[in-house]
Chains A and B, each alone.
Chain A
Amino acid sequence: MSQTMTTDSEAGTDSAAGVVLPRTPNREKIMQVVIPISALLLAILGWHLLVTINQIPRYILPGPVDVAVALFTDSSTLWPAMLVTIRITLMALALALIGGVGLAILLVQSRLLELALFPFAVVLQVTPIIAIAPLLLIYAPDTQTALLICAFLVAFFPILSNMAQGLKSVDHNLLNLFELYGASGWQTLLFLKIPAAMPYFMAGLRIGGGLALIAAVVAEFAAGSAGQGAGLAFRLIESQYRMNLPRMFVCLIMLCGIGISIFGLTSLISWLTLHRWHESAIRREN
Chain B
Amino acid sequence: MTDIAVSTIPGAASEAVRRSVVSMRDVSKVFSNGTLALKGMTLDVQAGEFISLLGPSGCGKSTALRIIAGLGAPSSGSIDWPSSKINSKGLPEGDVGFVFQDPTLMPWATVFDNVYLPLKLRGVTRAAAREAVMDNLAAVGLADFARSFPRELSGGMRMRVSIARAMVTRPKLLLMDEPFAALDEITRQKLNDDVLRLWQQHGVTVIFVTHSVYESAYLSSRIVVMRARPGQVFADMKISQPAGRDNAYRVSEGYRQTCQDVSDALQRAIGAGETH
Within 8 A of A (CB), among B184-203: 184, 186-187, 190, 193-194, 197, 201
Within 8 A of A (CB), among B149-163: 149-157, 160
Smallest Cβ distance from B194 to chain A, in angstroms? 6
Name the contact of B144 in the complex, choosing from A7, A171, A178 (C-beta under 8 A): A7
Name the contact of B121 in the complex, choosing from A2, A5, A12, A187 (C-beta under 8 A): A187
Q: Is the CB of A2 within 8 A of B143?
A: yes
Q: Please indicate the chain B residues that have their CB under 8 angstroms from the CB of A13 in the complex.
A: 156, 184, 186-187, 190
Question: Assuming the A-B contacts A177-B104, A195-B108, are A18 and B71 also in contact, with contact meaning beta carbons closer than 8 angstroms in the complex?
Answer: no
How many A residues are at the interface, by size bracket? 35 or more
Q: Is the CB of A15 within 8 A of B157?
A: yes
Q: Is A218 interfacial (CB-CB < 8 Å)?
A: no
Question: Assuming the A-B contacts A15-B156, A181-B122, are A191 and B151 also in contact, with contact meaning beta carbons closer than 8 angstroms in the complex?
Answer: no
Q: Please indicate the chain A residues that have their CB under 8 angstroms from the CB of B138 in the complex.
A: 1-2
**Stretch in B11-19, B91-99, B267-275 touching the partner:** B91-99
Q: Is the CB of B93 within 8 A of A277?
A: no
Question: Assuming the A-B contacts A14-B154, A173-B102, are A277 and B139 also in contact, with contact meaning beta carbons closer than 8 angstroms in the complex?
Answer: no
Q: Is the CB of A182 within 8 A of B91?
A: yes
Interface string of A169-209 (1 = CB under 8 A from B): 00101101111111100010001100110100000000000
Name the contact of A180 in the complex, choosing from B96, B145, B183, B187 (C-beta under 8 A): B96
Alpha-carbon gap, A19 to B153, bound state (A): 6
Question: Assuming the A-B contacts A17-B154, A19-B151, A277-B151, are A10 and B201 also in contact, with contact meaning beta carbons closer than 8 angstroms in the complex?
Answer: no
Smallest Cβ distance from B195 to chain A, in angstroms? 11
Q: Please indicate the chain A residues that have their CB under 8 angstroms from the CB of B242 in the complex.
A: none
Using A174-B104, A191-B120 as known contacts, list a sample of 13 further A-B pairs with CB atoms less than 8 Å apart, ordered by residue number in A. A2-B138, A7-B141, A14-B154, A173-B104, A176-B100, A177-B98, A177-B100, A180-B98, A181-B121, A195-B106, A195-B108, A198-B108, A276-B108
Nearest 7 A/B pairs, CB to CB: A15-B156, A5-B141, A173-B104, A14-B187, A277-B107, A14-B156, A195-B108
| A residues with CB within 8 A of B | 1-2, 4-7, 9-10, 12-19, 21, 171, 173-174, 176-183, 187, 191-192, 195-196, 198, 276-278, 282
